[in-house]
């Protein structure tokens, strides 16, 4: 049996007295979409922060392809093939759309290109064009990110995370604040990613979660409440009382 | 396909070319009139423009405000003076300044880069103050008098030589020297390495998630700025024949920041125009009143209020638009 592409074991962290993540374990299957759901403050983003090295974990392990990457910094995790996007758009706002992507794609170039003119980075520049096309941002390529609409910024947030060709992509509420049309487009895009990337997604839109996910993980008060197929999770009585219940 | 950042850099190149042409005309007029004063003042302006250039690499491209860049300028000047008093070789003096600046820059960068923002500014300020006090109190370095009697040198290129005492010759040499420092900085800043510095300035917290370490590039930027400041400083004793502790004082660091802000932060060329403007102003205003610092202070405030993007912040975008049109057609 091959190791799961991403596995977390007993992850924990506390902020003050609050156990924001409490002994969470799960494994993520390769080239599938696994979605983390849960009410506001359940600890979903904190879970991503621990996995991506943004916040050091107090306990537990993070394994990528069976190798221990616990406590590694975000840049080392990126090198191991793990990239993430942010719930609150986190881009280079004063730089252009294309430059944001180029910065993220530059990692595909060998080190020796670092001291050549940027125009010589053909691999990175080709990747930029490809992503602009795929995320429908070609016409905005020369625009500063600060001038984009909210929906466009959210799309770029995902594109930047994807630019370095990660094998594991963590997306924190990519559709947050998007219009219905944009949300549907983004869902379609995420689905298409899963042919060659393992996606771990945080999403609030239940319809989208049901249609998109292979596996759903339910978080509640820092704990993993349930894990299973969308149907199984929807039918779980604990989940219904904790999450769907109050609807 | 040339992007906006490369295009801005090219606009800076054009403005540097204009400055070079103006300087050549200035030199010709100077020689024709048998001038010494203005040629030497121009040389001094260029030397301080080199210091300002190093400040802009940090402030305009890496997002680090150094209030102690005089540390490296003074270091370069003292090392150069000491070497020249032993052996009057330009190459030995600048080579030594370069080497010492790399080592001291690595140590200083290691210390200063542990913090950000206003704390970085305060640490760079503090390090320069300590260095100035040490020099001020060290007998072997001439203490408060500085080092006097740095000999006139022949800068030897093998096929020709320039005397540091020749007003026009040394002015043109300094012009070439500072333009080379500019070209070096401009080249580096338009590579992926340089763009990484720009990314650090724009949003440092996202950079690690793109797969880059942030400590090393910031340290390298600091060391590059240290080297450029020191190499500029190394020319100072060749021009003036002495060095004094004032070169390390806060007024020198502060003036360099004022130069960059007036000239245009994040343009490189702004440091050059700003350096010339400020030196000229100091000299002209200084000949009318002793309170030239007051006048400079008021002008600086005016510049910040009315030209928040500096001189080049106004001029350069026009050239960028021209380049953009040219590329389309
Ligand atoms: N750096 C931090 N310091 C202190 N408390 C934190 C920190 N990060 C998160 N928390 C707290 O941890 C809890 C979980 O927050 P988290 O952002 O992970 O929730 P979430 O599930 O992503 O919620 P949402 O759906 O609103 O995004 C919250 O109570 C939050 O206030
Ligand atoms: Mg969240």
ipTM of the complex: 0.94
| Residue nearest ligand 1's atom 9 by CA | A46
Q: Tell me the mean pLDDT in the region B151-178.
A: 92
**Cα(A69) to centroid of ligand 1, in Å?**
23
Which of B63, B192, B217, B327 best tests the A interface by mutation, with the highest count of A CBs <10 A?
B192
Per the structure, the complete domain to which residue A206 belongs is given by 6-91+164-244
Summarize pLDDT for A174-200 with one digit per residue, the tens: 999 888 888 988 898 999 988 889 999
The pLDDT of residue A99 is 97
- Predicted confidence band of residue A77 (pLDDT cuts 50, 70, 90): very high
- Predicted confidence band of residue B159 (pLDDT cuts 50, 70, 90): confident
Q: Answer whether B206 touches A (CB < 8 Å).
A: yes
Residue of A nearest to B208 (CA): A75
The pLDDT of residue B329 is 67
Count the Cβ atoms, other than its own, within 10 Å of residue B292: 16
Q: Has residue B177 got a pLDDT over 70?
A: yes
From chain B, pick out residues whose CB is under 8 angstroms from the CB of A54.
Answer: 209
Ligand 1 atom nearest the C-alpha of A173 is 27
**Burial of B98 (C-beta count, 10 Å sphere; 0-12/13-18/19+):** middle
DSSP-assigned letter for residue A19:
E
Mean residue pLDDT across chain B: 93
From chain B, pick out residues whose CB is under 8 angstroms from the CB of A92.
Answer: 199, 202-203, 206
Q: How far is CA A177 from the centre of its chain?
A: 16
Q: Which H or E element spans position A184? A: helix A180-193
Of A100-114, A177-191, A215-229, B20-34, where does mean pLDDT reach its minimum? A177-191
Of A34-48, A69-83, B294-308, where does mean pLDDT reach its minimum? B294-308
- Predicted confidence band of residue A247 (pLDDT cuts 50, 70, 90): very low
* Interface contact B210-A103, CB threshold 8 A: yes
User: For position A21, which CATH number holds?
Assistant: 3.40.50.300
* Interface contact A164-B199, CB threshold 8 A: no
- Its pTM stands at 0.93
A159 in a domain, yes or no?
no
The span from the CA of B319 to the CA of B314, in Å, is 10
- Predicted confidence band of residue A244 (pLDDT cuts 50, 70, 90): low
Ramachandran category for residue A176: left, alpha or beta (phi over 0 → left; psi -120 to 50 → alpha): beta
Q: Tell me the mean pLDDT in the region A55-66.
A: 94
Task: Domain count for chain A, please give it.
Answer: 1
The span from the CA of A112 to the CA of B270, in Å, is 30
Summarize pLDDT for B206-227 with one digit per residue, the tens: 999 999 999 999 999 999 999 9
Q: Has residue B311 got a pLDDT over 70?
A: yes
Q: Tell me the mean pLDDT in the region B303-327.
A: 89
- Predicted confidence band of residue B193 (pLDDT cuts 50, 70, 90): very high
A148 in a domain, yes or no?
no
Asked if B79 and B231 touch (Cβ cutoff 8 Å), the reply is no
From chain A, pick out residues whose CB is under 8 angstroms from the CB of B193.
Answer: 114-115
Of A66-75, A238-247, B121-130, B238-247, where does mean pLDDT reach its minimum? A238-247
Mean residue pLDDT across chain A: 92
From chain A, pick out residues whose CB is under 8 angstroms from the CB of B62.
Answer: none
- Closest ligand, as measured to the CA of A219: 1
A222 in a domain, yes or no?
yes
Smallest CA–CA distance, residue A117 to chain B, in Å, is: 4
Q: Has residue A46 got a pLDDT over 90?
A: yes
From A95, A98, A119, residue closest to B202, measured CB to CB:
A95
What CATH fold (topology level) applies to the domain B4-328? ABC transporter involved in vitamin B12 uptake, BtuC (1.10.3470)
Residue ranges of the alpha helices (H) in A59-176?
A: 74-79, 97-105, 122-134, 150-163
Summarize pLDDT for A140-184 with one digit per residue, the tens: 999 999 999 999 999 999 999 999 999 999 999 999 988 888 898
């Amino acid at each position: 049996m091959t190791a799961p592409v991403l596995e977390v074991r007993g992850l924990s962290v506390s902020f003050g007295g609050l156990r924001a993540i409490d002994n969470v374990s799960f494994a993520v299957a390769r080239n599938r979409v696994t979605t983390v759901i849960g009410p506001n403050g359940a600890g979903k983003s904190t879970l991503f922060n621990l996995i991506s090295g943004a916040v050091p974990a107090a306990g537990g392990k993070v394994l990528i392809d069976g190798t221990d990457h616990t406590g590694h910094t975000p840049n080392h995790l990126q090198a191991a093939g793990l990239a993430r996007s942010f719930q609150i758009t986190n881009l280079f706002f004063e730089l252009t759309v294309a430059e944001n992507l180029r910065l993220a794609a530059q990692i595909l170039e060998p080190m020796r290109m670092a001291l050549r003119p940027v125009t010589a980075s053909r691999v990175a520049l080709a990747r930029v064009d490809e992503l602009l096309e795929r995320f429908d941002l070609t016409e905005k390529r020369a625009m500063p990110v600060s001038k984009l609409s909210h929906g466009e910024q959210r799309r770029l947030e995902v594109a930047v995370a994807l630019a370095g060709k990660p094998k594991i992509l963590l997306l924190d509420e990519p559709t947050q604040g998007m219009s219905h049309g944009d949300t549907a487009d983004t869902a379609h895009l995420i689905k298409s990613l899963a042919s060659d990337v393992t996606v771990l997604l945080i999403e609030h839109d239940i319809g989208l979660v049901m249609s998109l996910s292979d596996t759903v993980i339910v978080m509640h008060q820092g704990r993993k409440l349930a894990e299973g197929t969308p149907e199984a999770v929807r039918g779980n009585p604990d989940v219904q009382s904790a999450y769907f219940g109050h609807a | 396909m040339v992007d906006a950042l490369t295009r801005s850099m090219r606009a800076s190149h054009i403005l540097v070319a204009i400055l070079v042409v103006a300087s050549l005309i200035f030199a010709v007029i100077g020689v024709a009139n048998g001038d010494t004063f203005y040629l030497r003042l121009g040389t001094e302006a260029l030397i301080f423009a080199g210091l300002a250039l190093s400040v802009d690499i940090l402030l305009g491209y890496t997002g680090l405000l150094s209030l102690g860049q005089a540390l490296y300028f003074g270091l370069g000047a003292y090392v150069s003076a000491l070497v020249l008093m032993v052996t009057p070789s330009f190459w030995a003096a600048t080579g030594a300044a370069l080497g010492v600046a790399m080592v001291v820059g690595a140590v200083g960068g290691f210390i200063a880069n542990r913090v950000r923002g206003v704390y970085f500014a305060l640490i760079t300020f503090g390090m320069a103050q300590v260095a100035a006090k040490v020099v001020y109190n060290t007998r072997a370095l001439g203490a408060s008098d500085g080092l006097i009697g740095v000999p006139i040198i022949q800068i030897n290129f093998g096929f020709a030589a320039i005397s540091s005492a020749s007003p026009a010759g040394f002015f043109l040499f300094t012009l070439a020297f500072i333009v080379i420092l500019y070209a070096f900085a401009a080249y580096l800043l338009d590579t992926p390495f340089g763009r990484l510095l720009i990314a650090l300035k724009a949003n440092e917290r996202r950079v690690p998630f793109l797969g880059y370490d942030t400590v090393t590039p910031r340290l390298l930027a600091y060391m590059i700025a240290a080297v450029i400041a020191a190499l500029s400083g190394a020319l100072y004793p060749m021009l003036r024949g002495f060095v004094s502790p004032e070169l390390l004082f806060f007024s020198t660091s502060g003036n360099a920041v004022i130069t960059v802000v007036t000239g245009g932060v994040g343009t490189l060329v702004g440091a050059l125009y700003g350096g010339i403007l400020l030196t000229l102003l100091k000299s002209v205003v200084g000949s009318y009143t002793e309170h030239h610092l007051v006048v400079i202070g008021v002008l600086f405030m005016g510049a910040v209020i009315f030209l928040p993007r500096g001189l080049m912040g106004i001029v350069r975008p026009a050239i960028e638009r021209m380049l953009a049109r040219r590329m389309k057609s």
